[in-house]
A and B are shown apart, each in its own frame.
Chain A
Amino acid sequence: SQQGEEDPQALSIQEGENATMNCSYKTSINNLQWYRQNSGRGLVHLILIRSNEREKHSGRLRVTLDTSKKSSSLLITASRAADTASYFCATSPGGNEKLTFGTGTRLTIIP
């Protein structure tokens, strides 16, 4: 898989259910960031997890990072219609300034 590859590509769930998205990457990283993008709009930063962290919470979001497996997951609990968007993971390889984005998971919350 490519650096920052999300899985699944698309996910549809009922409002109120939990949504889990996964991200895999190839190289060692400083940190991994999750972003949300509503259709045709800008990227909204959700959460940053550093390479020495295993789990992080922010409101209804829970992010895990497993550097041994080079993977991360984003859990959105008690989903709402407003959570409908594309979700991207982005990695910052060691020493590099650039973020490398994945292809994204398109999440649809059905009211």
Chain B
Amino acid sequence: EPEVTQTPSHQVTQMGQEVILRCVPISNHLYFYWYRQILGQKVEFLVSFYNNEISEKSEIFDDQFSVERPDGSNFTLKIRSTKLEDSAMYFCASSVRGHTDTQYFGPGTRLTVL
């Protein structure tokens, strides 16, 4: 069964450093998402992406964050200058038809900012 994959599974970085989290969505899906979950808290929406542009973003997704689909398979989340409070589990998700459809989640990347 096709699944969303994410790399790395765990990323440790120093405060102020740039990180890129990578995702490979399910191949026939057209809508892509990033969510995050701070330890012990709710899963929070960051951004949705369709047709090579951001379709929706949350207040969390400020200028420090960017997303890109550099080729036909990868979907990346970049954090330009990490802060301690960016430490969280980051989940990528994808769906076929957007908001009317199931979103399938990857296993997550645990980001630790020191």
Residues of B that sit less than 8 Å from A by CB? 31, 33, 35, 42-45, 48, 50, 55-56, 58, 89, 91, 98-108, 110
Contacts and interface: CB of A to CB of B under 8 A. Distances in A.
B103 A101 contact: no
A58 to B, nearest CB: 12
Interface in A94-111: 95-104
A41 interface: yes
A50 B101 CA distance: 9
Given A42-B91, A43-B91, A99 B102 contact: no
Interface residues of A, number: 25
Contacts of A95: 99
Contacts of A42: 91, 105-108
Contacts of B102: 33, 45, 48
A78 B100 CA distance: 31
B105 A92 contact: no
